[in-house]
Structure 1
Amino acid sequence: MVTLKEITRENFWDCIELAVEKQQADFVTSNAVSIAQSKVQPECIPLAVYDDEVMVGFVMYCIDEDDSEYWIYRMMIDEKFQSKGYGRSALKLLLDRIKSDETRNKIFLGVHKESIAGVRLYESFGFRFDGQVFGKEHIMRLDY
């Protein structure tokens, strides 16, 4: 069963060792940088994606200080576990968690348009490009 769990002293190194395929490396920030970011930006919530007791990926989300909206800052599934439904399961769990906060009604994320699998996954959940671009990331938005 797929679950989202806190990053702890006990699972920190497992999280750091997760990696995407080489051709995807430009699409995601390292988990080490993301965890460091969460220490200086405490609004960021990093979580490990588990299948039972095996860590298979990483996500990080927050209410962004600039616009007071939910953002999914990071999402990655380790190269050994890709194309097995973990990304879809993790995204569903994360969206359910975010949507439980009834004070907001939209979620943003940035994606490289070259990340075809990522774009397709996000679109399948209702995310749509909103025209904003930050660096190489095109912004997608989900209204709920």
Structure 2
Amino acid sequence: MNVSLEEINQSNYEAVCDLDVTKAQEEYVACNMWSLVEAHYNSGHTCKAIYENKQAVGFFMWVLETPVKMSIWRFMVDQRHQNKGIGRAALTMAIKEIAAYPGIKEIEICYNPKNPVAKDFYSSFGFKETGLDDEGEDMLALITL
């Protein structure tokens, strides 16, 4: 498996926008096209395509929340490429890339507490739940570097 995180640009944004999760996952994941638009019009947002063997198979977006905290707002792997270890490899790379930002001491991720896979997956990376967000909808989990 050859997984990498790549910049999103004119040559690959359409492929990223065409990626989809399963019907059952749709309520948990924002649309990649919307995320790219959001990142374009807001500062501090970084978007990356997840590639496997030179093909776009997933998407990340992380946001600088404070000078010491980066939050992963979006993370998805296309339904045709799930259950191959791509998400695990990509999240490992994303954590390393985020940790390399000067001054970052915390990485936060949020997920729907009804998502049956998220808690176990993220806790396996060392994310510890800190409680629900301000709206009481999403669970927040944090890694301290």
Instruction: Using structure 2 for the length normalisation, give the TM-score.
Output: 0.92
Return the offset for 1:134: 4.0
Name stretches of at least 5 consecutive residues in structure 2 with no aligned partner: none
Deviations 1:8-60 (A, max 9, x none): 11111111110000011010110001000111113101110001211110001
- 1:87 match: 87
Superposed CA RMSD in Å reads 1.2
| 2:11 maps to 1:10 | yes
| Aligned partner of residue 117 in structure 2, secondary structure | helix
Matches within 5 A, 1:29-108: 29-64=30-65, 67-68=66-67, 69-108=69-108
Aligned positions of 1:128-139 closer than 5 A: 128-135=128-135, 136-139=137-140
* Matched position secondary structure for 1:116: coil
Partner amino acid for 1:92?
T
Identity of aligned residues (%): 26
SS in 1 for 2:36: helix
CA distance in structure 1 between the aligned counterparts of 2:124 and 2:6, rounded to whole angstroms? 24
Q: What code does the residue aligned with 2:119 have? A: V
Cα distance in 2 between the residues matched to 1:36 and 1:74: 13
Residue 32 of structure 1 aligns to a residue whose secondary structure is: helix
Q: C-alpha offsets along residues 48-78 of structure 1, whole Å, 9 cap, x if unaligned? A: 00012111100011212xx442000100000
Q: Which amino acid aligns with 1:110?
A: C
Which runs of structure 2 are paired with 1:114-129 in the superposition (5 Å)?
A: 114-129=114-129
4+ runs deviating over 4 angstroms = none
CA change 1:48–1:30 in 2 (3 A) is same
The Cα shift of 1:101 comes to 2.5
**How many residues get paired?**
142
Structure 1 segments unaligned to the other structure (5+ residues): none
